[in-house]
Amino acid sequence: MTPLFPLLNSSAARTCGRGKMSAPVVKMAGRCFYQLYKLSNSAGRLASGKTGIRQFSGAVVKNAAEPWRLLGAACVQRLAVISADQRPLEAKFSELMNQMELERSLMSDHELRLLDDKERLRRRQAVDYDSDEEEEADRDQDIVLTQDLEDAWEQRLKGFATQPRARGVVDARLERADRCLAEPLLLLTQQEVGPERLWMLPQTPWEAGETLKTTAQRALSATPGLDLQTVFLGNAPCGLYKYRMPRSVRDREGLTGVKVFFFKAVVSGPLPPPAPSSLWVRQSELKDYLKPSYLEKIRPFLLNL
């Protein structure tokens, strides 16, 4: 290809050298012409298609423009109602801390009075005991010893019956929200996804004119038989799960895939009765009901309280 700007020939260079232009200026002008020469050759290669730049096909641009279906999902947890049992290490540490607190603490008024009573009894049992040395207040009234008080308290304690610590209902079906009171539970509902029925968080498609949080709230109210009072923690989604549609569905419906936005919520009212097609599952049981890719997206924002 003929260059757009030919290089200066030797005669032109000699002519510039005999004029007023100095040698550095001639050198700079030569560089400018050389850069223009390289640009002209690059333009020629682009026009002929001989270039190292990666070309993007029209199919990629077309797929990027296809829409996604948006869904709102509610991650509802029933937090622990009672404290969990201490593990052996925790029980040993608690015992150690109680012993250290007892050794470093000051005596209470009751303990000081108990020491005074012991000293008074020691003086009375002595051989050289003189009752005139006792104060008039002690002689005028009967002294109630601290040991007598402790005996009375012991009798009252024996008559007090403690209630057993609640451990949950005997009927430990997964449909009940009052099971496993010492652990948080997660609400799962069974929904149809294509030809399958899968367990997942309550979800529903987004509708125009509503926020994604409103969509998640509507997903709870649309669950059949679920009478639940909840509080949503914030207005922004806490997680996202997306997947692509099969090729046949994409060609038929013109959708790239589905994006599910999760919103976190906790049970704020009475525990609901069992509802059909819904489960209350512990975190250790989620792997038995959720797909691994789905579980991987929701596990980071689960509350373990």
Confidence at residue 186, expressed as pLDDT on a 0 to 100 scale = 94
Distance CA 7, CA 40 (A): 13
Confidence at residue 274, expressed as pLDDT on a 0 to 100 scale = 85
| C-alpha atoms less than 13 angstroms from C-alpha of 41 in its C-beta half-sphere | 8
Q: Both tokens of residue 226?
A: 């679920």
Sign of the torsion formed by the C-alpha atoms of 284, 290, 293 and 296: negative
Residue 59 has pLDDT above 60, yes or no: no
3-state helix, strand, coil in the chain (%, to 5): 40, 15, 40
Which percentage of the chain shows pLDDT scores above 70? 69
Query: Residues 233-249: pLDDT tens digits?
Result: 999 999 999 988 888 77
The pair phi, psi for residue 88, each rounded to 5°, is -55, -40
Instruction: Specify the pTM.
Output: 0.59
Mean pLDDT, the chain, rounded, equals: 77
Query: Residues 171-207: pLDDT tens digits?
Result: 568 888 888 888 899 999 998 877 788 999 999 999 9
Contact between residue 271 and residue 76 where contact means Cβ atoms under 8 Å apart: no
- Angle at which helices 146-158 and 109-124 cross, to 10°: 130
Q: Both tokens of residue 47?
A: 């026009």
> Please, what's the largest Cα pairwise distance for the chain?
141
When pLDDT is cut at 50, 70 and 90, the band that residue 94 belongs to is very high
Distance CA 254, CA 65 (A): 10
Query: Residues 99-150: pLDDT tens digits?
Result: 999 999 998 888 888 888 788 778 777 766 666 555 554 554 445 667 788 8
Q: Is CATH 3.30.420.40 what the domain over 68-82+175-301 is classified as, yes or no?
A: no
- Could you state, in order of their start, the residue ranges of all structural domains in the chain? 10-48, 68-82+175-301
The pair phi, psi for residue 172, each rounded to 5°, is -95, 40
